[in-house]
Amino acid sequence: MTAYAVYDVFTDRPFAGNPLAVVFDAETLGTQAMAAIAREFNFSETTFVLPPEDPAHTAKVRIFTPSAELPFAGHPTVGTALALEARGKGAEQVLELGVGPIPVTVAGGRAEFVTRTPLTRGASPDIARVAACLGLPECAIRTAAHPPQMAGVGLSFCFAEIAERESLAAVVTNLAAFREAADLYSDRANFGLFCYTRAGSTVQARMFAPTGGIPEDPATGSASAALTAYLATLEAGDLALTIHQGEDMGRPSRIETRAEFADGAVRSVAVAGRARKVMEGHLTA
């Protein structure tokens, strides 16, 4: 029987943060079986741990949402590293993801990974369309720092700054508008809208991807990494943020990020957080 554990990630207490199922010793499972298991857990992501292709690395990790496989995601990287450390894999790890090897350091119940995947930018979605997705008036979208923007460091999101925290809390998503936006700017499985307010180094955020089976995500490390890289690029300097997510859905999360900027570009982004194991078991099918 294949063992699994469920961790709540980007939190230091159970039943907060973003739940993650980690399936160990998954080399006997095919892609279709992994996809079916991810649908059964129905978390925003489930990871499957396989032997590494490079024996110098810790493990190969495949990441599935309920509807698609992802090349990279933040809370699965943090949660899987902490789960592997608990099983004796050590504090210094290298996880093979779809974007390549990612180094992770685990210490004191906290994991930090570093990605050097370059920031990519895509379309700048129409403000009216973004506002319609969120059920907000157009004036709620703040454009002083940047307009709505597609960007990513391995996985692309649409970033939109919201003028007021009250407006962020008042979001009511419109699935039809999301479908139209996904068809225009990404695809229905992977279109995520990350909206946020910022006060200095503190960010309050929400992420919605209903066309990909995620009505709202409690913590999105890959989007947090991309946002930090994007803002550091706009500001042309190093940047450290503390990103609070999930508060409006009752699963508060805390994500710490750092971007290093040099020679006109972001050279690396670090993402860190804690996790708590909340259950474990075995697959029987």
CA distance 224 to 230: 10
Answer whether 216's CB lies under 8 Å from 181's CB.
no
Q: Collapse the DSSP code of 283 into the 3-class scheme (helix H, G, I; strand E, B; otherwise coil) and give the result.
A: strand
Answer whether 56's CB lies under 8 Å from 72's CB.
no
45 is catalytic: yes
Cα 192 versus chain centre, distance: 10
End-to-end C-alpha distance for the chain, whole angstroms: 8
Answer whether 215's CB lies under 8 Å from 173's CB.
yes
Q: Which of the residues 45, 85, 112, 256 is marked catalytic? A: 45
Cα 70 versus chain centre, distance: 10
- Burial (CB count <10 Å: 0-12, 13-18, 19+), residue 39: middle
Backbone φ and ψ of 185, nearest 5°: -115, -10
- Reading the block at residue 204, the tokens are 């309050």
- Reading the block at residue 67, the tokens are 């509807």
Answer whether 48's CB lies under 8 Å from 65's CB.
no
Catalytic residues: 45
